Amino acid sequence: MDKIYLGKIGESYSQKYLIQNNYVVMSKNYYTRYGEIDIIAIDLQSKQLVFVEVKTRRSYSFGRLEELLSKDKLRKLFTAINIFLMNNKISGDISWRIDLIALKLSANNKVEKIKHIKNIKNG
């Protein structure tokens, strides 16, 4: 199974997880020339705009899932977020944060583990 397909499965599970946990999903796969935001949602509890990075793996051979967000990826994510905020005319008064959802899937694409790390970086 290729990496893109695995990522799409993880994003689908993450979207369902967010909805079940009181989030409204606004957008998926927001692309800019500088990077992509996997999921954009609103946390109804905190009233924050949330930019979600999803990491999906089948094993831990490349390290723990939550360690897979490199400095380069984070920099690209910040650039994509700033573009999203500008394009949607969202003011600096709006509270936002970046969350990471890390999933480990079994060989038959079932979730073995899901970890939601809130506020890895915030605005």
| pTM (two decimals) | 0.89
58 or 88: whose pLDDT is higher?
88
93 CB burial (10 A radius; 0-12, 13-18, 19+): exposed
> Can you tell me the mean pLDDT for 105-109?
89
CA distance 21 to 8: 20
Task: Choose among 94, 104, 99: nearest CA to 120.
Answer: 99
Residue numbers of the domain that contains 94? 3-122
Q: Phi-psi region for residue 60, left (φ > 0), alpha (ψ -120 to 50) or beta?
A: alpha
Least confident of 12-21, 29-38, 58-67: 58-67
pLDDT band of 121, cuts 50, 70, 90: low
pLDDT (mean) for 60-79: 73
CATH code of the domain covering residue 14: 3.40.1350.10
- 33-58 pLDDT, tens digit per residue, is 988 999 999 999 999 999 999 999 88
Structural domain total, the chain: 1
